[in-house]
Structure 1
Amino acid sequence: MDTGTHVVMGIALGGLAMIDPVVANHSMTATAVIAGTIIGSQAPDVDTVLKLRNNAVYIRHHRGITHSIPAVLLWPLAISGVIHLIMPGADFLHLWLWTFLAVFLHVFVDIFNSYGTQALRPFSNKWVALGVINTFDPIIFGLHVFALMFWAFGANPVYTMLILYAIVFVYYLLRFAVQHAVRHAVKNTIPTAEEIIIAPTIRFFQWRIAAISKTHHYVGRAYGRSINIYDRFDRKTIPDSPLVKAALKDKNLQAFISFSPIYRWEITDHDHIHEVRLIDLRYRSNDYYPFVAVAHLNEELQIVNSYTGWIFSEEKLHKKLDFISD
Structure 2
Amino acid sequence: MDTGTHVLMGVALGSLASLDPAIAHDPFLSHAVLIGTLAGSQAPDIDTILKLRNNAKYIRNHRGITHSIPAVVIWPLLIVGIMAAVYPETDWLRVWLWTFVAVAFHVFVDIFNAYGTQALRPFTKKWIALGVIHTFDPVIFVLHLLGVGALFLGVHPGYAFLAVYALVAAYYVFRFREQANIKQLVHASIHGVTDIITVPTWRPREWHLAISTDSEFYVARVKRGRLVILDRFQKRPLPDHPVINAAKRDENVAAFLSFSPVYRWEMNEYDDYYEVRFTDLRYRSKGYYPFVAVVQLDRDLNMVSSYTGWIFSEGRLRKKLEVAPN
TM-score normalised by the shorter chain: which range applies? over 0.9
Match in the other structure for 1:274 = 274
1:29-44 to 2 correspondences below 5 Å: 29-44=29-44
Runs in 1 of length 4+ with deviation above 2 angstroms?
A: none
Match in the other structure for 2:63 = 63
Code of the residue aligned with 2:243 in structure 1: it is L
Code of the residue aligned with 2:278 in structure 1: it is L
Corresponding residue SS for 1:238: coil
Match in the other structure for 1:290 = 290
Match in the other structure for 1:317 = 317
The CA distance in 1 between the partners of 2:90 and 2:14, in whole Å, is 15
The CA distance in 1 between the partners of 2:168 and 2:58, in whole Å, is 30
Identical aligned residues as a percent: 54
Code of the residue aligned with 1:278 in structure 2: it is F
Code of the residue aligned with 2:219 in structure 1: it is V
Match in the other structure for 1:121 = 121
Alignment gaps of 5+ in structure 1: none
The CA distance in 2 between the partners of 1:271 and 1:2, in whole Å, is 45
Deviation at 1:194, TM superposition (A): 1.0
Deviation at 1:323, TM superposition (A): 8.9
The CA distance in 2 between the partners of 1:225 and 1:154, in whole Å, is 41
Code of the residue aligned with 1:55 in structure 2: it is N
The CA distance in 2 between the partners of 1:271 and 1:291, in whole Å, is 27
Deviation at 1:44, TM superposition (A): 0.4
The CA distance in 1 between the partners of 2:15 and 2:304, in whole Å, is 54
CA RMSD of aligned residues (A): 1.2
Conserved 8 A contact 2:193-2:211 = yes
Code of the residue aligned with 1:216 in structure 2: it is E
Match in the other structure for 1:151 = 151
Corresponding residue SS for 1:297: strand
How many corresponding residue pairs?
324
Code of the residue aligned with 1:62 in structure 2: it is H
Match in the other structure for 1:207 = 207
Match in the other structure for 1:188 = 188
TM-score under structure 1 length normalisation: 0.97
Could you give the per-residue CA deviations for residues 131-158 of structure 1, whole angstroms, max 9, x where no partner exists? 1000000110010011101112211111
Deviation at 1:224, TM superposition (A): 2.6
Code of the residue aligned with 1:172 in structure 2: it is Y
Deviation at 1:22, TM superposition (A): 1.4
The CA distance in 2 between the partners of 1:250 and 1:9, in whole Å, is 39
Conserved 8 A contact 1:28-1:87 = no
The CA distance in 2 between the partners of 1:236 and 1:278, in whole Å, is 12
Code of the residue aligned with 2:123 in structure 1: it is F
Alignment pair present for 1:103 and 2:103:
yes
Code of the residue aligned with 2:212 in structure 1: it is I
Match in the other structure for 2:245 = 245
Alignment gaps of 5+ in structure 2: none
The CA distance in 1 between the partners of 2:188 and 2:100, in whole Å, is 44
Change (3 A) 1:323 1:215: closer
Corresponding residue SS for 2:193: coil
Alignment pair present for 1:142 and 2:142:
yes
Deviation at 1:90, TM superposition (A): 2.1
Corresponding residue SS for 1:75: helix
Conserved 8 A contact 2:304-2:322 = no
Alignment pair present for 1:222 and 2:213:
no
Corresponding residue SS for 2:289: coil
Corresponding residue SS for 2:285: coil
The CA distance in 1 between the partners of 2:285 and 2:156, in whole Å, is 44
The CA distance in 2 between the partners of 1:231 and 1:9, in whole Å, is 38
Deviation at 1:272, TM superposition (A): 1.2
TM-score under structure 2 length normalisation: 0.97
Corresponding residue SS for 1:275: strand
Does 134-143 or 230-239 show the bigger shift? 230-239
Code of the residue aligned with 2:44 in structure 1: it is P
Change (3 A) 1:90 1:198: same
The CA distance in 1 between the partners of 2:323 and 2:2, in whole Å, is 30
Match in the other structure for 1:161 = 161
Conserved 8 A contact 2:305-2:323 = no
Code of the residue aligned with 1:308 in structure 2: it is T
Conserved 8 A contact 1:116-1:127 = yes
Could you give the per-residue CA deviations for residues 91-138 of structure 1, whole angstroms, max 9, x where no partner exists? 111101111110010000001111111110111111111110000001
Could you give the per-residue CA deviations for residues 2-52 of structure 1, whole angstroms, max 9, x where no partner exists? 000000000111111101111111111111000000000000000000010
Corresponding residue SS for 2:322: helix
The CA distance in 2 between the partners of 1:224 and 1:197, in whole Å, is 18
Conserved 8 A contact 1:272-1:298 = yes
